[in-house]
Amino acid sequence: ASNFRPFETNAIRLESGQNARVDITLSVGATEQVEVTAVSPILQTADAVVGEVISGTTIERMPLNGRNFSQLSLLLPGVITTEPDSFTQPKNFGSGRPFVNGQREQSNNYTLDGVDMNEPIDNLLPYQPSPDALAEVRVETNNYSAEFGNVAGAVIGSTIKSGTNEYHGAAFEYWRDSSMAANSWENNRAGATKAELEQHIFGATIGGPIIENKLFFFGDYQSFLRDRPSELVRSVDVAAHAGTTWG
């Protein structure tokens, strides 16, 4: 406005689900220009949510076995799992969910771009986004807003990347084979051979402009092939089953 000094600041980045407040004081006078070249971190003063945002850079650099992004929630305090192997699956086959602040694994709420992403019977995760397609993951473990019902554990919200004014893309394949793995403790104890496994996880991402500065696109694809013969190792009391023939 006329008769007020200009005020200029560098870009302020908002994270997923963040409410930020920036107080700007306009002073009378037009001869001076106030320019802020460094902005301190924006404090969350609008609510008392306990949680953290895991950035795209962290997602890309974390060694996620099975490319299961749910492993990222284990980086936060109060989040544990009793089955680490359940987080190594490319898809959620009924496990791979964290225990948050003592709650059961069914007590978490997953969202994707703000849309509910939970299987209704046992609160399973029906879709595993490719880590290459994620801009960030926000994990709220306590005091989250009333808009997030359904849970007593964590709210785990994923945000898909968007296109930019430049074309960006990537292609990947992750190969896993039993020839490069050790035998499990259970198999060694029972004298059983190592389980066979051959797994390929592959895909690509692409994004770019449709109308510069106005309209963008982004797409991703991921699939996996797995060859793993089924087996089960169990121990029985031989003396208690004398005379029994096992087939």
Rg of the chain over Cα atoms, rounded to whole angstroms, equals 25
Contacts of residue 45, Cβ cutoff 8 Å, sequence gap at least 6: 21
pLDDT at 218 over 80: yes
198 in Cβ contact with 178 (< 8 Å): yes
CA 1 to chain CA centroid, nearest Å: 44
pLDDT at 185 over 60: yes
pLDDT-derived band at 87, boundaries 50, 70, 90: confident
User: Is 0.75 surpassed by the pTM of this model?
Assistant: no
pLDDT value at residue 84: 83
Q: Which residue has the higher pLDDT, 9 or 168?
A: 168
